[in-house]
Structure 1
Amino acid sequence: MSHAMVRCRVCDLAYVDRAPSQATLAASYHEADYDSADEAEDAADAYARAIAPVLETLKGRGAALEIGTGTGAFLERLQKAGFQELVGVEPSPAAIAAAPAHRKPWIREGIFVEQDFAPGSFDLICCFMTLEHVRDPGALVASARRLLKPGGVFVSVTHDRRAWLNRLLGCRSPIVDIEHMQLFSDESAKGLLARNGYVEVGGASFRNAYSPSYWLRLVPMPDRLKSNLTAALRGTWLDRRKLAANVGNFMSWGFRPH
């Protein structure tokens, strides 16, 4: 359930060198089911904690765009952080349908297209767990830079394939997935931004907190055993506790030059 990948010896990116067409990818996400609404809230909380130091250096909090917004959970965190205009782009109708009613006006269904927005119109553009899914991440981050105001920031979250857990699991890691067109390391994630004209590029790993039943979904084990254990956990007092761990998610950022 994964594509064959090669590794760039220059930038350390692992990527599919014979990727499906953009139309095929768009159709796949249009048809996909969505069953991660609860986990999206937990992920949004983790992203909000991780991005806080970056936002402290940002002068304006006017407009924010999230590429691959899902249910718009993180947009709501940005609203609480003081952003005045919120826009999310999401290709999955099922994810949008799972969004609370008050978030749906923020979300546009479809694939991100630069021409849908005015140049220099956003203070913040974020793209969480989405760069792995697109055919050309370089084109996406270059488009984002043109849409940012001078001094605006682009922030992404990607899987770090060189994190200890992913190296330990190898091909059994959940990041090795049929939907992933490339897998980043911390080096390749920051390098992507630097090569596309961003300045003050930085990055950091962070911890996610999820319920035990969700963590269990990611563990490589026989399906029947996993299903039985997950069913036994759901709804119990133990499953209501959030377990925090650093599992190799990496946040990178870069600013559009003044």
Structure 2
Amino acid sequence: MTQMQLENRHERLCPVCGSSPEAAKIYFEEHIDTSKLNEFSFASRKAPEYLCYQMVQCHRCDLVYVDRPPSQSALAEVYHAAEYDSSEEAADAARAYAGIVSGLAKKRPLKDALEIGTGTGVFLDVLKSFGCENVAGIEPSSAAIAAAPDYRRPWIREGIFRESDYAPESFDLICCFMTLEHVREPKEIASSVMNLLRPGGAFVTVTHDYRSPVNKLMGKRSPIIDIEHMQLFSQRSIGTLFDSTGYVDVTVRPFANRYALRYWTRLAPLSPRLKKMASSLLSTLGIDGLKLSVNVGNTAAIGFKPTR
């Protein structure tokens, strides 16, 4: 992100409930070091940089959000140019997300499904395995799409999510995993998803929970403190987002990720030297690839479009 993009910022209301930032309290002070920004700064599952814009906490809905974010065009540009280097972690995440969607697939047919922020489209394979006949993904990173196998690329549209790119009421399921934090207007996303779902269709998200014990314990050393994040949810604020956009039978619950020990080490709040030592030790012991399920402070939310 260039200095010009950093400066092209304007104040916004709370992107979930519309409250004024004047009534909010500062939650994180701004910390931007442009010398640390690189082609992976807006890439998924990168090593933490602990850079962030000023974030405030909404007194009404409990959302923590950037009160003066970059423009939508600036965000689209940096995500388009971001590198991609997380194939193993993406596959691990897809397997974990499958546990959320499997229950939905047992209750009703999921003929048509869309994933917002699909990366290489690995979760689209999971949706196919659940019987989805037509799957689609939207992804802004050209590098991520280039890393997808040839057979998946026709399923993926390059760009940012726009409701107008899809027919109304054309999906039974829309998923948005670890992506709502990255957009400027999460309520617009949720409203657009509502319009694209068929009656009874499901919207499924996974988001960070800044109020989780692990994130509160790590404080400013938590990986959720990141220049990519335009907002951070709690269970209360993600529930408010779903309720205020008309979803019914909303459930919000903690979610455990499953990754290799080498990835958990990369995220740990340790110095580069200690991370290198820990990684070397795990590799020497032959356990760096051991998969471990950990609740690191994420939340799964599911809501349904009302039936007529």
Normalised TM-score (structure 1): 0.96
- Match of residue 211 from structure 1: 260
Report the secondary structure of 1:132's partner residue. coil
**Pick from 134, 137, 150: which aligns with 1:101?**
150
Aligned twin of 1:194: 243
Instruction: Please state how far the C-alpha of 1:219 moved relative to its aligned partner.
Output: 0.6
Pairing of 1:142-153 with structure 2 (within 5 A): 142-153=191-202
Structure 1 stretches of 4+ with a deviation exceeding 2 A read 50-57, 227-237
Give the whole-Å Cα distance in 2 for the aligned partners of 1:234 and 1:150.
Answer: 50
Aligned match for 2:226, one of 168, 171, 177: 177
| Letter of the structure 2 residue corresponding to residue 181 of structure 1 | M
Paired residues of 1:190 and 1:253 also in contact (CA < 8 A): no
C-alpha deviation, 1:51, in angstroms: 2.7
Q: Which residue of 2 aligns with 1:45?
A: 95
Mapped to 2, the partners of 1:236 and 1:97 lie a distance apart of: 34
Match of 2:126 among 64, 73, 77: 77
Task: For 1:166 and 1:123, locate their aligned partners in 2 and report how far apart those are by CA, in whole Å.
Answer: 33
| 1:35-76 deviations in Å (ceiling 9; x for gaps) | 11110000000000133223333x231110000000111111
Partner of 1:66: 115
Instruction: Tell me which of 159, 163, 175 is aligned to 2:208.
Output: 159
Are 1:18 and 2:60 an aligned pair? Answer: no
Kindly state the Cα deviation for residue 240 of structure 1 after the two structures are TM-superposed. 2.5
Aligned residue-pair number: 257
* Displacement after TM superposition at 1:223 (Å): 1.9
Percent identity reads 54
Aligned to 2:19: none
Please state if 1:32 is matched with 2:97.
no
Distance 1:241 1:233 in 2: 9
- Could you say which structure has the greater relative contact order, defined with CA pairs below 8 angstroms and 6 or more residues apart? 1
CA distance in 2, matches of 1:192, 1:234: 43
Unaligned runs of 5+ in 1: none
- The offset of 1:235, in angstroms, is 8.5
Report the Cα distance in structure 2 between the residues aligned to 1:76 and 1:236, rounded to whole angstroms.
33
Q: Within the alignment, does 1:139 sit opposite 2:215 as a pair?
A: no
- Name the counterpart of 1:121: 170
Counterpart CA distance in 2 for 1:113 and 1:40 is: 23
Output the CA distance in 1 between the equivalents of 2:166 and 2:74. 24
Q: Secondary structure at the match of 1:19?
A: coil
Moved more, 237-246 or 65-74: 237-246
